[in-house]
């Protein structure tokens, strides 16, 4: 049984409309560029919309295949508004990459309630309500691909990040399974990617230089990961023929966590 895809680019049955959260830099920008290169029209969302607009204009100067909109992923209503904006631009998205997150290091035993709540609620809300709001729209269309960015920290308790970050990423893995089960019968897949430490500005900002060398030394492959490869994995999981993969977590951690 095949399903008709909504929001496809004319003449290309494999192209659709992709939304990437936290796309203004780092991992999100790599993912947005890969999906755009794959032929999708891409909506780059970020709380820093000006930075997202710069990347979008670089991908598509006339705005025909890349647009940017503001999205604070901490609140459900913002996803509702973002979905409406996407529909106004091109139509119902067929791909959602929930990438946005707060990354913060903190001492476990002195971590305060405000910091804990802010990181936990932002990171889990971003996944849960992204899946809920956009997943429902995809379900109505009969097709969709959702990829949630989890983390090695949610599997092993964290290598160099705070307990609140690790806790939130563990919750993302559970939410991925819940939505995968809910949406499987209506043509929508939901998967997670759990990266270990990657060669990104946020890693170097979070981990002090004197500690980063030790972190790298502890990675079995002896180097930081490549964000371009994560983008490749996103491209694979969002392909039309990825219909048989849902509820999965793809580990990309250099051998730090083997199962």
Q: What pLDDT shows up at residue 162?
A: 79
Question: pLDDT at residue 11 above 50?
Answer: no
pTM: 0.92
Q: What pLDDT shows up at residue 192?
A: 98
Q: Between the CA of residue 134 and those of 10, 109, 254, what are the distances in Å?
A: 22, 37, 32
Q: What is the percent of the chain with per-residue pLDDT over 70, rounded to a whole number?
A: 94
Q: What pLDDT shows up at residue 61?
A: 98
Based on its alpha-carbon atoms, the radius of gyration of the chain, rounded to whole angstroms, reads 17
Buried b (16+ CB within 10 A) or exposed e, 72-94: bbbeeebbebbbebbeeebbbbb
Q: In what order do the strands lie in the sheet with 17-21?
A: 66-70, 41-46, 17-21, 95-98, 144-149, 188-195, 249-252
**Residue 78 to residue 85: CA distance in whole angstroms:** 10
Tell me if 8 is assigned to some domain. Answer: no
Tell me if 3 is assigned to some domain. Answer: no
Tell me if 258 is assigned to some domain. Answer: no
**Residue 10 to residue 117: CA distance in whole angstroms:** 44
Q: Tokens 């990040």 belong to which residue?
A: 161
**CATH number, residue 79:** 3.40.50.720
Q: What pLDDT shows up at residue 7?
A: 39
Per the structure, the count of domains in the chain is: 1
Tell me if 168 is assigned to some domain. Answer: yes
What average pLDDT does the chain have? Answer: 91
Tell me if 202 is assigned to some domain. Answer: yes
Bridge partners, residue 44, by sequence? 20, 68
**Residue 109 to residue 142: CA distance in whole angstroms:** 47
Tell me if 115 is assigned to some domain. Answer: yes
- The residues, ordered by sequence, that sit 6+ positions from 212 with a Cβ below 8 Å of its Cβ are 160, 203, 204
**Residue 195 to residue 225: CA distance in whole angstroms:** 8
pLDDT tens digits for 80-132? 999 999 999 999 999 999 999 987 778 888 889 999 999 999 999 999 999 99
What confidence category does residue 159 fall into, taking pLDDT thresholds of 50, 70 and 90? Answer: low
pLDDT tens digits for 42-65? 999 999 999 999 999 999 999 999
Tell me if 114 is assigned to some domain. Answer: yes
Tokens representing 173 are 């893995």
Q: Which residues are catalytic?
A: 165
Tell me if 46 is assigned to some domain. Answer: yes
CA atoms within a 13 Å half-sphere pointing along the CA-CB vector of 126: 30
The angle at the Cα of 35, spanning 30 to 40, to the nearest 5 degrees, equals: 150
Phi, then psi, of 74 in degrees rounded to 5: -75, -10
Q: Give the residue numbers spanning the domain of 220.
A: 17-252
pLDDT tens digits for 172-225? 999 999 999 999 999 999 999 999 999 988 777 777 788 888 889 999 999 999
């Amino acid at each position: 049984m095949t399903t008709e895809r909504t929001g496809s680019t004319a003449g290309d049955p494999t192209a659709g409309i992709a939304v990437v959260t936290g796309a203004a830099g780092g991992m999100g920008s790599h993912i947005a560029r890969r999906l755009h290169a794959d032929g999708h029209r891409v909506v780059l969302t970020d709380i820093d919309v000006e930075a997202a607009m710069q990347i979008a204009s670089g991908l598509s100067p006339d705005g025909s295949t890349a647009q940017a909109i503001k999205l604070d992923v901490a609140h459900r209503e913002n996803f509702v508004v973002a979905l409406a904006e996407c529909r106004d631009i091109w139509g119902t998205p067929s791909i959602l990459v929930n990438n946005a997150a707060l990354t913060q290091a903190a001492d476990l035993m002195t971590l305060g309630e405000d910091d804990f709540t802010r990181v936990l609620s932002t990171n889990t809300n971003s996944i849960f309500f992204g899946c809920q709001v956009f997943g429902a729209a995809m379900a109505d269309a009969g097709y969709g691909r959702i990829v949630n960015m989890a983390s090695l920290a949610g599997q092993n308790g964290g290598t160099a990040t705070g307990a609140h970050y690790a806790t939130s990423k563990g919750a993302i893995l559970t939410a991925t399974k819940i939505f995968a089960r809910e949406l499987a019968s209506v043509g929508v897949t939901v998967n997670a990617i759990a990266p270990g430490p990657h060669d990104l500005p946020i890693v170097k900002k979070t981990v002090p230089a004197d500690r980063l060398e030790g972190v790298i030394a502890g990675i079995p492959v002896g180097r930081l990961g490549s964000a371009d490869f994560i983008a490749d994995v996103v491209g694979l999981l969002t392909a039309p023929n990825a219909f048989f993969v849902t509820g999965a977590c793809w580990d990309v951690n250099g051998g730090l966590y083997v199962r």
